[in-house]
């Protein structure tokens, strides 16, 4: 592995690790706020227990998210100094606002976690809501920074110089809205299904049924609503990518030849040498329709893009297929759940429905990782699309490979410990909150 | 506008040193305590620091964001040439942050606890040690942007006796801050006597480490003495710090919790002031006489302006909330007992 590849892998690993914790830290406070609200309204002890049990889990995720985020803010410079030297002043606005959001989140979390029975109950509830809102705000802001890398704005690039900088325009670049919307929904869907699945598992085991059913219901509603909206927002993203980054769209679809009435390619093996996809199902005209809202439109293929500006095609394509495939699965499960709620209440405790939710535990997170691979790998070879290439941004320091090995070891062990801790939390629920 | 941003940068570093420092220090004290005092330190610390724990470490992030948005050249130069100690510090931050949470939130108490504790106390010492090394590298004129081989570019920039001495000094300062802080938080007079003894030991240790810093500076040909005593602000700051140390020693024995906290905070602030004021607005002294300056190497006006507004706006929200957080847990303490 050379140092450049190591730097890219280390960045991907750190972000891929952080995103899981960030999503949970962003979404769980809302679940807690609902449970907490119900407790304050109805006085049913079980809702208080749900809130408390969740808040313990969140504290673990929050701190892990915070340290991995701290690492990221250094890594941007440690690995991509040339990028940061030029990009920092331009896309820094969302990061500086994000700092505020984090701070508020940290303060509110202090009130929330340590404030049980110490404050007016509604003030205490409110601090929990603030944790959620500021977490969401930080997620949106950081995604706006990433969107700037895909769709640079707020400066002029003349003769290798960045002039006429406007940080506000940079923040509200063309891609920020579609990406932020899609990311937010993804966080709700992924966290919602993961939490719902864990409680479904406990319901099936017949432990603390009342507790777990209440928890399941809160998580499942968030998850399913988000999962229904997700493909709609994905469609907005795809149209946006088609406009801004034709190379990425072509790689996502493994669309080699520019053509009218372009077909949507599903499955298949990408052969980057022969410029074709083997054994795939092709639906005529659908890609044209998805990208441009018209099944006759022309879709730019990779043949229109100079070879040295091609992103890695196979990975981008497979990652896109995984994301969309999982999105469809989650959509189907959501529809089943809505039917259950509306017509077939008796299904709620049936093992097959619970099993489906248990199987869905990791789906959202896999889709999130896949989606980010699409975005980031599909942008290659650019770090700032059309402006700066990733190779030109990497640190001159040799030996990044060792740093990559080190961080890999750290992240792998952390993941194991966090999983172990959560397992213990969940196992203890019965003993602590037995009612 | 630039000076507003610089003020925020300085304040974040200052608060990180005081609050984050006390936080690291609690781990350091736990590390050097005998077994019977370890758990006392641990529990006291969790009770008082728990609620503001996340907030204490936000100052570092604020400082970093200010650097990379407002002073990208400074941020990237550090990132490239002190990569290795920065990475070591990050590993320390990861280890410490996660161990803190794990030991407080693990639902089962068993042998794992002692593993978390061990990771926590060691990383509590390692992290500020590397922070000190990194700080030292900014003034030691060892960062060589023209270096051609690995050692002189990426290792000699920070690995020297001056850096190590400053690292040790930082560790001692953290321990000192924590000991002073904990004195006001324990209730039995036995405990108080114990932490007063710890505080005194830490003062002695900081004193010795401070001496080492001067010796190492001399050895590395860093004109530290000239810097500090060549300017009245430096002399005044160090003079004030030394005099207040005497007061501190006396008040320790009389155990006046608030006064000694103020004095300790004052001292550490004076040391930071002396260390940063002398070169202001230069912030990194490079090998061969060049330097990076907060004024000349700041980002463009537009960026600085936006950053200043973001910081001002942020502090309108943050500061009252933070004060209320600290105040309310301070007030509720009485009730909780
Ligand atoms: C639960 C997770 C999840 C699910 C089910 C989907 N996505 Fe997604 N997708 C993401 C999670 C995600 C993401 C991880 O959040 C990304 C990465 C960057 C971003 O803004 O969102 C993303 C990026 C992303 C992009 C690239 C945006 C860019 O580079 O600017 C497109 C075109 C789509 N998605 C389209 C879809 C479509 C058509 C879906 C149909 C079902 C879909 N996504 C489901
Ligand atoms: C959290 C979700 C994210 C994941 C999983 C992710 C994933 C990745 C991956 C896979 C790469 C390597 C691409 C390659 O080399 O082929 C990468 C690179 C990078 N990402 Fe992301 N990314 C995420 C979000 C972000 C955000 C929010 C930012 C910045 C604001 C960002 C900045 C970068 C940078 C600077 C690189 C290195 C340069 C490059 O390869 O383009 N990423 N990321
Ligand atoms: C898509 C990508 C990202 C999303 C959605 C995201 C979101 C979040 C959220 C919601 C948190 C709050 C912690 C929690 O609640 O668990 C967080 C923490 C943090 N993130 Fe990220 N983040 C992303 C990428 C990044 C990047 C690229 C950086 C660095 C430049 C970063 C820096 C941080 C920092 C410093 C923290 C700690 C703040 C704290 O203590 O609360 N994040 N992130």
B150-165 pLDDT tens trace: 877 788 888 888 889 8
Whether A426 has a pLDDT exceeding 80, the answer reads no
What is the distance in A from the centroid of ligand 2 to the CA of A324? 20
| Residue A374 pLDDT grade (very low, low, confident, very high; cuts 50, 70, 90) | very high
In terms of pLDDT, which residue wins out, B305 or A372?
A: A372
Return the SS3 of A388: strand
Chain B residues with CB-CB distance to A69 below 8 A: 61
Nearest Cα residue in chain B from A394:
B80
Q: Please, which residues bridge with residue B63 across strands?
A: none
B227-258 pLDDT tens trace: 778 778 878 888 888 888 888 877 777 767 77
pLDDT at residue number A218:
92
Which one of A78-87, B277-286, B312-321 scores highest in mean pLDDT?
Answer: A78-87
Torsion over CA: A366, A372, A376, A378 (sign): positive
| Residue B336 pLDDT grade (very low, low, confident, very high; cuts 50, 70, 90) | very low
Burial class (CB in 10 A: 0-12, 13-18, 19+), B149: exposed
Residue B226 CB coordination number (10 Å): 12
Cβ atoms of A65 and A18 closer than 8 Å: yes
Q: How far is B3 from chain A (nearest CA, A)?
A: 17
Chain A residues with CB-CB distance to B52 below 8 A: 110
CA dist B138 and A205 (Å) reads 59
Cβ–Cβ below 8 Å for A110 and B66: no
Chain A residues with CB-CB distance to B69 below 8 A: 88-89, 92-93, 95-96
Question: Token digits for B3?
Answer: 């000076």
pLDDT at residue number B107:
65
| Residue A214 pLDDT grade (very low, low, confident, very high; cuts 50, 70, 90) | confident
In terms of pLDDT, which residue wins out, B186 or A288?
A: A288
Residues 273-312 of A with CB under 8 A from B: none
- Identity of the residue in B306, B325, B332 whose CB atom sits nearest the CB atom of A107: B325
Burial class (CB in 10 A: 0-12, 13-18, 19+), A394: buried
- The structure's pTM equals 0.89
Average pLDDT over residues A153-169: 79
What is the distance in A from the centroid of ligand 2 to the CA of A12? 6
H or E stretch at A243: helix A209-244
Residue with tokens 């004290």: B29
Q: Please, which residues bridge with residue A270 across strands?
A: A277
CA dist B100 and B104 (Å) reads 6
Chain B residues with CB-CB distance to A63 below 8 A: 54, 97-98, 100-101
| Residue A247 pLDDT grade (very low, low, confident, very high; cuts 50, 70, 90) | confident
In terms of pLDDT, which residue wins out, A226 or B307?
A: A226
* Lowest pLDDT segment from A34-38, A363-367, B45-49, B270-274: B45-49
Tell me the C-alpha to C-alpha distance, in Å, between residue A135 and each of A30, A107, A233, B101, B162: 10, 12, 21, 19, 41
- In sequence order, what are the residues at sequence separation of 6 or more whose Cβ sits closer than 8 angstroms to the Cβ of residue A422? A57, A60
Nearest-atom number in ligand 3 for the CA of A62 is 16
- Identity of the residue in A103, A397, A421 whose CB atom sits nearest the CB atom of B83: A397
Question: Which ligand places an atom closest to the C-alpha of A83?
Answer: 2
Report the percentage of chain B scoring pLDDT > 70.
94
Q: From atom 41 of ligand 2, which residue's Cα is the shortest distance away?
A: A383
Average pLDDT over residues A107-127: 83
Residue A102 Cβ inside 6 Å of ligand 3? The answer reads yes
Chain A residues with CB-CB distance to B83 below 8 A: 78, 395, 397
* Lowest pLDDT segment from A142-146, A226-230, B214-218: B214-218
Cβ atoms of B42 and B31 closer than 8 Å: no
Torsion over CA: B227, B176, A104, B325 (sign): negative
pLDDT at residue number A16:
92
Mean pLDDT of chain A: 86
Nearest-atom number in ligand 2 for the CA of A95 is 30
Cα Rg of chain A (Å, integer): 23
CA dist B248 and B252 (Å) reads 6
| Residue B337 pLDDT grade (very low, low, confident, very high; cuts 50, 70, 90) | very low
In terms of pLDDT, which residue wins out, B159 or A141?
A: A141
Question: Token digits for A23?
Answer: 């999503």
Residue A46 Cβ inside 6 Å of ligand 3? The answer reads no
pLDDT at residue number A431:
67
What is the distance in A from the centroid of ligand 2 to the CA of A15? 7
Cβ–Cβ below 8 Å for A395 and B80: yes
| Every domain of chain B and the residues it spans | 2-332
What is the distance in A from the centroid of ligand 3 to the CA of A124? 24
Mean pLDDT of chain B: 82
pLDDT at residue number B334:
47
Residue with tokens 């008082």: B48
pLDDT at residue number A28:
92
Complex ipTM: 0.85
Q: Is A397 on the interface with B (CB under 8 A)?
A: yes
pLDDT at residue number B39:
78
Cβ atoms of A377 and A314 closer than 8 Å: no
Residue A141 Cβ inside 6 Å of ligand 3? The answer reads no
Residue A327 Cβ inside 6 Å of ligand 3? The answer reads no
pLDDT at residue number A432:
66
Average pLDDT over residues A396-414: 89
């Amino acid at each position: 592995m050379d140092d450049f590849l190591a730097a890219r892998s280390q960045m991907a690993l750190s972000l891929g690790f952080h995103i899981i914790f960030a999503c949970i830290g962003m979404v769980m406070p809302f679940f807690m706020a609902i449970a907490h609200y119900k407790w304050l309204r109805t006085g049913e002890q079980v809702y208080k227990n749900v809130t408390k049990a969740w808040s313990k889990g969140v504290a673990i995720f929050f701190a892990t998210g915070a340290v991995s985020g701290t690492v990221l803010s250094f890594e941007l410079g440690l690995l991509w100094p040339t990028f940061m030297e030029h990009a920092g002043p331009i896309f820094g606005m969302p990061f500086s606002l994000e700092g505020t959001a984090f701070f508020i989140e940290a303060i509110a979390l202090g009130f929330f976690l340590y404030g049980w029975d110490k404050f007016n109950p509604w003030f205490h509830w409110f601090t929990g809501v603030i944790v959620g809102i500021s977490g969401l705000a930080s997620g949106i802001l950081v995604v706006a920074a990433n969107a700037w890398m895909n769709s640079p704005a707020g400066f002029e690039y003349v003769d290798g110089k960045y002039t006429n900088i406007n940080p506000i325009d940079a923040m509200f670049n063309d891609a920020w809205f579609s990406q932020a919307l899609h990311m937010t929904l993804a966080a709700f869907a992924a966290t919602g299904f993961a939490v719902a699945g864990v409680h479904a598992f406990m319901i099936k085991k017949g432990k603390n049924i009342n507790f777990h059913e209440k928890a399941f219901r809160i998580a499942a509603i968030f998850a399913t609503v988000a999962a229904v909206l997700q493909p709609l927002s994905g469609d907005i993203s795809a149209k946006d990518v088609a406009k801004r980054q034709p190379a990425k769209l072509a790689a996502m679809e493994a669309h080699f030849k520019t053509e009218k009435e372009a077909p949507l390619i599903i499955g298949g093996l990408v052969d980057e040498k022969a410029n074709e996809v083997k054994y795939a199902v092709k639906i005529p005209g659908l890609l044209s329709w998805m990208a441009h809202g018209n099944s006759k439109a022309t879709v730019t293929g990779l043949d229109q893009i100079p070879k040295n500006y091609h992103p890695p095609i196979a990975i981008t394509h497979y990652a896109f297929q995984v994301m969309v495939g999982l999105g469809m699965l989650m959509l189907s499960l959501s529809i089943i759940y809505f039917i259950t709620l509306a017509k077939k209440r008796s299904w709620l405790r049936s093992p097959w429905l619970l099993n489906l939710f248990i199987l869905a535990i990791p789906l959202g997170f896999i889709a999130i990782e896949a989606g980010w691979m699409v975005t980031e790998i599909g942008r290659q070879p650019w770090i700032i699309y059309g402006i700066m290439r990733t190779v030109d941004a990497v640190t001159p320091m040799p030996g990044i490979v060792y740093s990559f090995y080190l961080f890999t070891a750290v992240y792998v062990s952390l993941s194991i410990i966090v999983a172990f801790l959560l397992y213990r939390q969940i196992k203890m629920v019965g003993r602590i909150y037995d009612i | 506008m630039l000076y507003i941003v610089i003020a925020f940068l300085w304040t974040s570093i200052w608060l990180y040193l005081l609050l984050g420092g006390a936080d690291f220090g609690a781990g350091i004290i736990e590390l050097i305590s005998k077994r019977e005092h370890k758990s006392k330190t641990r529990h006291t610390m969790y009770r008082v620091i728990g609620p503001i724990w996340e907030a204490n470490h936000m100052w570092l992030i604020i400082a970093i964001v200010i650097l990379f948005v407002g002073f990208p050249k400074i941020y990237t130069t550090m990132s490239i040439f002190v990569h290795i100690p920065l990475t070591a510090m990050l590993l320390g931050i990861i280890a410490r942050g996660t161990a803190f949470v794990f030991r407080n939130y693990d639902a089962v108490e068993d042998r794992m606890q002692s593993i978390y504790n061990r990771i926590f106390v060691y990383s509590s010492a390692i992290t500020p040690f590397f922070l000190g090394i990194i700080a030292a590298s900014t003034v030691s004129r060892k960062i060589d942007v023209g270096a051609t081989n690995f050692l002189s570019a990426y290792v000699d920039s920070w690995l020297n006796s001056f850096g190590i001495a400053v690292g040790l000094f930082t560790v001692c300062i953290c321990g000192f801050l924590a000991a002073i802080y904990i004195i006001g938080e324990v209730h039995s007079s036995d405990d108080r006597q114990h932490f007063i003894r710890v505080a005194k030991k830490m003062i002695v240790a900081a004193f010795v480490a401070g001496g080492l810093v001067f010796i190492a500076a001399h050895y590395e040909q860093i004109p530290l003495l000239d810097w500090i005593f060549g300017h009245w602000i430096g002399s005044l700051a160090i003079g004030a710090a030394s005099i207040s140390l005497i007061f501190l020693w006396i008040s320790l024995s009389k155990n006046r919790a608030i006064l000694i906290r103020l004095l300790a905070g004052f001292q550490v602030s004076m040391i930071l002031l002396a260390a940063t004021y002398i070169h202001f607005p230069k912030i990194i002294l490079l090998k061969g006489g060049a330097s990076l300056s907060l004024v000349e190497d700041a980002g463009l006006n537009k960026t600085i302006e936006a950053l200043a507004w973001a910081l001002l706006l942020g502090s309108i929200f943050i500061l009252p909330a933070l004060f209320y957080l600290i105040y309310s847990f301070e007030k509720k303490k009485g009730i909780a007992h």
